[in-house]
A and B are shown apart, each in its own frame.
Chain A
Amino acid sequence: MTQSTEYARLVEQVCDTLVRAGSTFSEDKIRAYERAIEAERNPRARWVLETILENARVAARDRSPLCDDTGIPHLLLEIGAERSISGAALEAVRQGVREGLQALPGRPMAIMGDDWQRIDQSGGLDPDPAGLDPAPLLICPSPDPHRLRLHILMFGGGPAIRGKTYRVFHRHSQAVVKDEIVKWATEAVEQLGCSPCTLTIGIGRSHYEAASLMLQAQAFGNHDVQSEAEQEITRRVNKSNIGALGLRGDVSVLSTFLRIGPQRASGVRVVCLRPSCCFEPRHAWTEL
C-alpha cells in the first residue's frame, strides 16, 4: 500500500467514526433506555424516553445527527507498547475529523477571528462545519501491546454549561466525596433539561487530570457494567424525581461512568462532573 493510499484510508476511517459517534447509540445505551422505559412509572416521562429511542433508530438508519447541537469533537487515543503513530497519521486523523464534520453534517459552530474576537464572537461564524477544531488529543497507554484505537466523542454545549470541576475536601471519608457528587449532580440534572443523563465523572489531583479522567470515563464506561459506587450515585440522584425532560419521574439518570485516578497525600480531591445529556456520551471508536 502506498503512503497516499494509507493516508486516504485513515481519513475515510476517521470520517466514518465521527459520523457514527454523532448518529449512533451504543448497544449498551439502547439496553439502558429499554430498562428505563420499563422502570418509568410517569407516562409523560416514559413518552420522552420512547421518543428519544425512536430518534436514535432514525439517526442510525439515516446516519444523521442525533441532536442539532452536534458537539465539539474530543479524541482519545489508546496505544499499546508495540504500536506507534506518526505525525502524518495524526494529520490524517485531523483531516478525517474535518471530513466527518462535513459528512454528518455538523452544525457550523466555529468562531473566527483573533483571541478576543473569538471571546465576544465579533469575528463572525465560520459557515463550514469543518472549521471546528477538535479539543486536544488525549493519549492513554493500553494494556494490549497491539492496540492502536481512536475514540471520538462529541461534546454538546448544555452539559458544558451545567458541568463542574472543583475541589472537594474529603475529610478522610469516601462518603463525603460521594455526597458532594450527588449534590452537584442533582443540581446539574435539574438545570440541564435534556435528561435522562449519564453522569460522567473523573476524580484526580488537578483540574486537568480530573477532566482527562472524565473523558476516559466516557470512552470506557458501559451501561451494562456498573460498580457499586456508580450504582449508588445513580440511585441517589434518581431519588430527586426530576425525570426525563424535567417532567418528573423515576429515571433522571441512566447510569454513572466514574473514573478515579491516582490521588495525592492531601485533604483535597479534584472532581470533574459532566452531566452528559440524553444522547451522550456520543462515542464511537476504530482500530487504526
Chain B
Amino acid sequence: MIELHTPISDADIAALRVGDRVEISGYIYTGRDAALPRLVRMIRDESILDTDIDLKGSVIFHTAVSPAGVGPTSSNKAEIEGSFPGLCEGGVKLHLGKGRIGADTIRSLDEHNAVYAVMPPVTALLNARTLERRVAAFPEEGMEALHLLKVERYPCIIAAAHGKSIYDEEA
C-alpha cells in the first residue's frame, strides 16, 4: 500500500504504476459535471488566481457531497464533460473516480504527468475517513458545488498511469 499526501509531487506520480493500491490523505477537491467545466474556465481565464483554490499537486474526486456522504460517480460520463486536460493544466495530479476512461484522456494524463485512480463506492468508509468539508466554489450548485475535503487514508487503485490502463490488462 502506497501512502500519498497532498500536495502530490511530480516524483510521487512518476513512481506510480497501474494496479498500485494507494491511500490518499490531506486536502482534496470534489466536483462533477456541474462544477468541473466551470473550474476549467476559471483556470484558463486565470480568474482562479483571485480565489483561495490551490490546484498544484491536488486531487479531484468525482463525487457529489450530500448529507448521505460521498462516493465516486462514473468518470467516463463524457469524461466528466471534458475537464481532465484543463484540470491537469491547472496542476491536478490525481483524478479519482470510477470506471474505464478513454484513450484520449489517458494520453492527456500522461502528457501532464498525472494519473487516474478508481475506488468502489464505499460511502460509509469514506465518511468515517472525512475529517472536514466545506464549499470551495459555486455554492449555487448545491451538492454538486466544488467542495474541499480533508481526508485520511481514502483507499483507491491506480487505473491509468503513463499511458497505460488497468482495464486493458489481463487479470
What string of 1s and 0s marks CB contacts (under 8 Å) between A26-54 and chain B? 00000000000000011011011001101
Contacting residues of chain B (129-171) with chain A, CB-CB under 8 angstroms? 142-143, 155, 157, 166-167, 169-171
- With A51-B155, A58-B128, A278-B120: A68-B166 Cβ-Cβ less than 8 Å: no
Most central of A58, A129, A243 by chain B CB within 10 Å: A58
- With A44-B19, A68-B69, A129-B67: A55-B171 Cβ-Cβ less than 8 Å: no
Q: With a CB–CB cut-off of 8 A, which chain A residues contact B169?
A: 248
A246:B70 contact, CB within 8 angstroms:
no
Chain B residues with a Cβ under 8 A of chain A: 19, 21, 63-64, 66-71, 74, 98-100, 118-125, 127-128, 142-143, 155, 157, 166-167, 169-171
What string of 1s and 0s marks CB contacts (under 8 Å) between A51-73 and chain B? 11011101100101111111000
Q: With a CB–CB cut-off of 8 A, which chain B residues contact A45?
A: 171
Q: What is the distance, in angstroms, from A59's C-beta to the closest C-beta of chain B? A: 3
Q: A107 vs B69: C-alpha distance in the bound complex, in angstroms?
A: 8
Q: What is the distance, in angstroms, from B145's C-beta to the closest C-beta of chain A? A: 13
- With A246-B167, A249-B171: A66-B67 Cβ-Cβ less than 8 Å: no
Asked if A177 lies at the interface with its beta carbon under 8 angstroms from chain B, I say: no
Q: A104-B68, A194-B121, A279-B121 are in contact. List 10 more A-B contacts (CB 8 A).
A: A42-B171, A47-B157, A51-B155, A58-B125, A62-B127, A67-B71, A68-B63, A108-B143, A129-B67, A248-B169
The 5 A-B pairs at the shortest CB distance, nearest first, are namely A59-B124, A248-B171, A55-B122, A68-B71, A42-B171
B100:A248 contact, CB within 8 angstroms:
no
Q: A247 vs B168: C-alpha distance in the bound complex, in angstroms?
A: 9
A52:B70 contact, CB within 8 angstroms:
no
- With A47-B157, A62-B128, A108-B66: A245-B122 Cβ-Cβ less than 8 Å: no
Q: What is the distance, in angstroms, from A250's C-beta to the closest C-beta of chain B? A: 8
Contact of B170 among A108, A125, A248 (CB under 8 A): A248
Chain A residues with a Cβ under 8 A of chain B: 23, 41-42, 44-45, 47-48, 51-52, 54-56, 58-59, 62, 64-70, 104-108, 125, 127, 129, 193-194, 241, 243-249, 278-279
B68:A65 contact, CB within 8 angstroms:
yes
By beta carbon, the residue of chain A nearest B67 is A105
Tell me if A's interface is mostly helix, strand, loop or mixed. Answer: loop
Most central of A65, A66, A68, A104 by chain B CB within 10 Å: A68
Q: A52 vs B124: C-alpha distance in the bound complex, in angstroms?
A: 10
By beta carbon, the residue of chain A nearest B125 is A55
A106:B118 contact, CB within 8 angstroms:
no
Q: A70 vs B171: C-alpha distance in the bound complex, in angstroms?
A: 31
Q: With a CB–CB cut-off of 8 A, which chain B residues contact A194?
A: 98, 120-121
By beta carbon, the residue of chain A nearest B98 is A193
Q: A66 vs B119: C-alpha distance in the bound complex, in angstroms?
A: 14
Q: A55 vs B126: C-alpha distance in the bound complex, in angstroms?
A: 8
Q: A23 vs B124: C-alpha distance in the bound complex, in angstroms?
A: 8
Q: What is the distance, in angstroms, from B73's C-beta to the closest C-beta of chain A? A: 9
- With A107-B68, A245-B120: A64-B127 Cβ-Cβ less than 8 Å: yes
Contact of B124 among A44, A48, A64, A245 (CB under 8 A): A64
A58:B124 contact, CB within 8 angstroms:
yes
Q: With a CB–CB cut-off of 8 A, which chain A residues contact B19?
A: 44
- With A65-B124, A67-B121, A247-B166: A105-B98 Cβ-Cβ less than 8 Å: no
Q: What is the distance, in angstroms, from A278's C-beta to the closest C-beta of chain B? A: 7
By beta carbon, the residue of chain A nearest B169 is A248
Contact of A52 among B63, B74, B100, B122 (CB under 8 A): B122
- With A44-B166, A247-B157: A51-B125 Cβ-Cβ less than 8 Å: yes
Q: With a CB–CB cut-off of 8 A, which chain A residues contact B121?
A: 67-69, 194, 278-279
Contact of B171 among A54, A65, A69, A247 (CB under 8 A): A247
16 A-B residue pairs with CB within 8 Å: A23-B124, A42-B171, A44-B21, A51-B155, A58-B124, A58-B128, A62-B124, A62-B128, A67-B123, A68-B121, A70-B68, A105-B67, A107-B64, A194-B98, A194-B121, A245-B118
